[in-house]
Amino acid sequence: MLVKPTARQRAACESPAETIDFDRLVRDLDDGECVVRRRAARDLGEIAAAGPHLVGRLAIETEPSARAAILSALIRLRSVEVVDGLVAFLRSEDVGLRNAVIEALQEMPEEALPSLRLLLTDSDSDVRIFAVNILNGLCHPGMVPCLVEVIATDSHVNVCMAAVDGLAEAGDVEAIPPLAALARRFADVPFVAFAVAAATRRIRGH
């Protein structure tokens, strides 16, 4: 007579194999062969616990194809923890990595928005600009209110101009009064008035 194993017994049998497989994949992230690292990143994109390992590898990965595989895996994992790991790269001097991270964050709008709101108050204006650029490509209803808040409160003209670009693409008529206020606030900067006028025309055209 065959006796079926209980759920606990099955879990006890399966867990070690799964753990060994996970550990192997994590080790493969540091393999000398790019193809092995790509394969490991792809498979780890199905395991929630892999986020920190993938982010750690992203910090040192130099091969574009392996880097793309890691970012693709992180997008599939799409969690607040993944977002927190990725936003640190916005301070990187590696422009290619920074741009790739910006694109990745735009693929996880729900998870990214809370972190982006915090970044909009960062002391570094470049980081705030990167946050606005991510918002500009974010498909989320909270995007426009965030951009309006930027043009109403940020003291750096370039940060505000980045937000104006986003509002020109996605803003509605409710953004027009804050845009007009921005032009008055930076009345001594000619290109602000020009950008605001162009954005207003586009919004009215919508």
Condensed to tens digits (0 to 9), the pLDDT of residues 141-160 reads 899 999 999 999 999 999 99
pTM of the entire predicted model: 0.83
Whether 155 is covered by a domain: the verdict is yes
What local confidence, expressed as pLDDT, does residue 201 receive? Answer: 96
Closest CA to 97 of 113, 74, 123, 121: 74
User: Residues 6 or more apart from 165 whose CB is under 8 A from it?
Assistant: 136, 195, 199
Output the DSSP codes for 119-132.
HTT-S-HHHHHHHH
* Banded pLDDT at 205 (limits 50, 70, 90): confident
Whether 168 is covered by a domain: the verdict is yes
Reported as a single tens digit per residue, the pLDDT across 169-179 is: 998 899 999 99
What local confidence, expressed as pLDDT, does residue 139 receive? Answer: 83
Taking 70 as the threshold, does the pLDDT of residue 105 lie above it? yes
Closest CA to 163 of 144, 181, 176, 177: 144
55: left (phi over 0), alpha (psi -120 to 50) or beta: alpha
Reported as a single tens digit per residue, the pLDDT across 44-93 is: 999 999 999 999 999 999 999 999 999 999 999 999 999 999 999 999 99
Whether 56 is covered by a domain: the verdict is no
Whether 41 is covered by a domain: the verdict is no
* Token representation of residue 77: 């994992």
Whether 42 is covered by a domain: the verdict is no
Distances (CA, A) of 200 to 3, 81, 149: 74, 37, 17
Whether 39 is covered by a domain: the verdict is no
Reported as a single tens digit per residue, the pLDDT across 111-129 is: 999 999 999 999 999 999 9
| Contact in structure between 142 and 149 (CB atoms under 8 Å) | no
Closest CA to 104 of 133, 75, 77: 75
Taking 80 as the threshold, does the pLDDT of residue 2 lie above it? no
Structurally, the chain folds into a number of domains equal to 1
Name which residue leads in pLDDT, 2 or 64.
64
Whether 45 is covered by a domain: the verdict is no
DSSP 3: -
Distance separating the N- and C-terminal Cα atoms of the chain: 73
What local confidence, expressed as pLDDT, does residue 20 receive? Answer: 53
Whether 206 is covered by a domain: the verdict is yes
Distances (CA, A) of 41 to 23, 89, 101, 141: 12, 18, 16, 31
**Structural domain for 202, as ranges:** 112-206
Look at residue 185 and give its three-state secondary structure: helix
